[in-house]
Chain A
Amino acid sequence: MPNIIKTKYRYPIFFIGVMLLIASGIFDKYLHVPLNASALLAGIGFILIVASLSRI
């Protein structure tokens, strides 16, 4: 499988993924953002985390 994500970008992607996860919780609890939107944000964050750690 080709190494699409360059190594130097993997940690920043991981960092952004975790921050998106935390942000989705904050948006839902304190800013009362619609649930679907915050869930989408959390989902994107999780995918970013997995992508940064995978062989992609």
Chain B
Amino acid sequence: MKFDNIIPKEFLEFNPRLYSFVFLILAALVALILFPIKEYMGYIDPFYSPTVLIIPIIGLFRLTCYAFRQDYNRHIFKHPITCPAGDVLDKKSRQYSGESSLFMKLENYHRYFMYVALLVLPFFYYDLYVSLTYTGIFSLRLGSILMGFDVAMLTLYVFSCHSVRNLIGGRTDCYGCTLAGRANRKVYNAQSFLNNYHKSFAWISLISIIAVDLYIRALAAGFRIDMVLWHM
């Protein structure tokens, strides 16, 4: 039985970075389950919105994302180390296999994880609305600004995704042959502009979601760092 078609060669090599990365993900998941803090003073934790059970799918969305794939293929698997080097600096046993392994096929399901991410986004907007109206009137609190920034970054991250680019117009062969082709082309061009910054949005949104989670945990722990900046 050929294991190459099930498990990529990179997984079978001794790689402490890979083991530590897997440990990191598992530790973070266990920590999220051990220390639940779903809501505090009108701030709903994004990791628990709508439910913590959705995290594996959102995690797979990020793990199969092109931006993160480039980063972990370079820094964890060192395969390739960098695009120009290609096969020159790589091991002979790890030549390009055409993404034929089962793991690589999982990467192709990124678009389905993207659909789930699109469905989860409105919940973050609802959480932002709750944080703004928690006091009964519209009040802009420090946490709401942080959540607003996080929601904006997550929206930009999802909508700058390569799968969204394909969905919007990347799969169209001829814009002149389709209905509203010119408008479609304009939307595609606008999304392409966002797509250039997809890597930046990926990392900034990851940091901002961690920051919001830590902020809510700090408030729940008793730190008085929140303040009302403006209210109606």
Please give the residue numbers on chain A whose beta carbons come within 8 Å of chain B beta carbons, in ascending order. Answer: 7, 10-11, 15, 18-19, 21-22, 25-26, 28-29, 35, 39, 42, 46, 49-50, 53
Contact = CB atoms under 8 A, between A and B. Distances in A.
B27 A28 contact: no
Chain B interface main SS type: helix
B79 to A, nearest CB: 15
Contacts of A7: 75
Contacts, number: 45
Contacts of B222: 35
B24 A18 contact: yes
B27 A11 contact: no
Contacts of A35: 221-223
Interface residues of B, number: 21
Interface of B: 17, 20-21, 24, 27-28, 31, 34-35, 75-76, 203, 207, 210-211, 214, 217-218, 221-223
B27 A19 contact: yes
Contacts of A21: 31, 210, 214
A49 B221 contact: no
Contact of A49 (B75, B210, B223): B210
Contact of B20 (A15, A26, A29): A15
